[in-house]
Structure 1
Amino acid sequence: MRLRNKPWAKPLIDANPQYVVTEPEKFAGKWQERFEKEQPIFVEVGTGKGRFIVEMAEKYPDRNFIGLEMQTVAVGIALKKQIDAKLPNLQLVCANGSGLTEFFNEGEVSGIYLNFSDPWPKKRNEKRRLTYKTFLESYENVLNGDGRIEFKTDNRGLFEYSLCSMNEFGMHFDGVWLDLHDSEEAKENVMTEYEEKFSQKGQPIYKLTAHF
């Protein structure tokens, strides 16, 4: 969802280069330099306002997290959270998620999160879906041998499409949940802003985890 312009967002990003990367291709193979400790790197593609990635970084201090988001306003909102939290294991990236293979070296990433991605329901926009085969190719390239993809959505059509797309690509499923919040998996679940909104309306949340 496109956010309303906030004039303060870009100046805030420019004033905090210690937390936000705007030229991620310069750090391919060198992301550990951005963190206090060298730890496995997990990337959220489409981090939105940042609730998920901030809470994940708080919950798992033994992992390094990167929140990738193309909307400047959303990055600015997420940055406000990071300025308050000052998490040494979190970096934000203001860039388009289609450039993963330019931003990371082969096998540099340990996990990828896809949360409530735009479903792009029209057939002509299929290639924009973050579980389309060209995106899966880029994930396979940057993930290490044990790397996993975690995907959550409230959109059943996108979920079914993603299951088929990943299966056709030859991926292996570690878990599939048709109602995440009514499952054992919910105990460790960290929600996004959208997820809380949809689940409060009684909308089932779909989740899968898979590897190459």
Structure 2
Amino acid sequence: MRARHKPWADEYLNKNKDIIEPEPKQFKGNWKSLFESEKPIHLEIGTGKGQFIVGMAKQYPEINFIGLEVVKSIIVSAVEKVKETDIHNVRLLNENAENLSELFAEGEIDTLYLNFSDPWPKNRHEKRRLTFPAFLEQYKAIMKKSGQIILKTDNRGLFEYSLTSFSKFGFVLEDVTLDLHAEDDPNNIKTEYEEKFSAKGLPIYRCVAKLKS
């Protein structure tokens, strides 16, 4: 996701430490202490401007949500969305997904969301895809044994790659759909990209990959 550079981003994030945690590594293994109550923790990798995670937090107050976004000029928009609402079950991290094992302890995450991740279509960039085995290894380490990954994308190539990657890694595939919006699920929270692509008539692919218990 590209965004214009915002020179004021650092200052803005520093002023909103109640929403975006500046030193996340200190909470490894104890993320529940950062929220008002102990609840299951769901993690979104690539939060973008925050539409999905804010919508989910509103719809599911019984869950605590953590959103991870590496680009400061983008995550400031997510912080703004959280501030505009009266929700207290969201925390944001300006971190890279490559560092998950430094941020979360074993079995700390119940559900992980991958929404419209960069497909990195060229073969030489395969290792950058968020469903490459090296990433799946990190996900497996931080997720509960009954945990699940929910993936949504508009990119057929990434979707097919991910299905294969999940299967080879030992995940069980459930709820695989090639046209999510054809089902008109009222509980589906859309991301900004999802609205953009579906408005163009493009199908949205979705799957749930569960760890084998």
Scaled by the length of structure 1, the TM-score of the pair is 0.97
The aligned runs of 1:71-82 (5 Å cut-off) are: 71-82=71-82
- Flag structure 1 segments of 5+ consecutive residues without an equivalent: none
* Residue 70 of structure 1: aligned partner: 70
The AA in structure 2 aligned to 1:127 is: K
| CA distances 1:40-86 after superposition (whole Å, capped 9, x unpaired) | 00000000000000000000000000000000011101000111114
RMSD over aligned Cα, in angstroms? 0.9
The AA in structure 1 aligned to 2:188 is: N
* Residue 211 of structure 1: aligned partner: 210
The AA in structure 1 aligned to 2:70 is: M
Displacement, 1:8?
2.6
Q: Does residue 192 of the first structure (1) align with residue 191 of the second (2)?
A: yes
Displacement, 1:2?
2.0
* Residue 132 of structure 1: aligned partner: 132
Displacement, 1:7?
2.2
Displacement, 1:145?
1.5
Q: Distance in 1 between matches of 2:62 and 2:114?
A: 21
* Residue 85 of structure 1: aligned partner: 85
Displacement, 1:22?
2.8
* Residue 37 of structure 2: aligned partner: 37
**Number of positions where the alignment pairs a residue of Structure 1 with one of Structure 2:** 211
| CA distances 1:98-129 after superposition (whole Å, capped 9, x unpaired) | 11111000000000000000000110110000
- The 1:141/1:153 distance shift into structure 2, 3 A limit, reads same
Residue aligned with 2:84, SS: helix
Residue aligned with 1:106, SS: coil
Bigger mean CA deviation after superposition, 92-101 or 149-158: 92-101
- Contact in 2 for aligned 1:9/1:77 (Cα 8 Å): no
The AA in structure 2 aligned to 1:195 is: E
Q: Distance in 1 between matches of 2:80 and 2:187?
A: 25
Scaled by the length of structure 2, the TM-score of the pair is 0.97
- Flag structure 2 segments of 5+ consecutive residues without an equivalent: none
* Superposed structure 1 runs of 4+ greater than 6 Å apart: none
- Contact in 2 for aligned 1:40/1:63 (Cα 8 Å): yes
Q: Distance in 2 between matches of 1:47 and 1:163?
A: 22
The AA in structure 2 aligned to 1:198 is: F
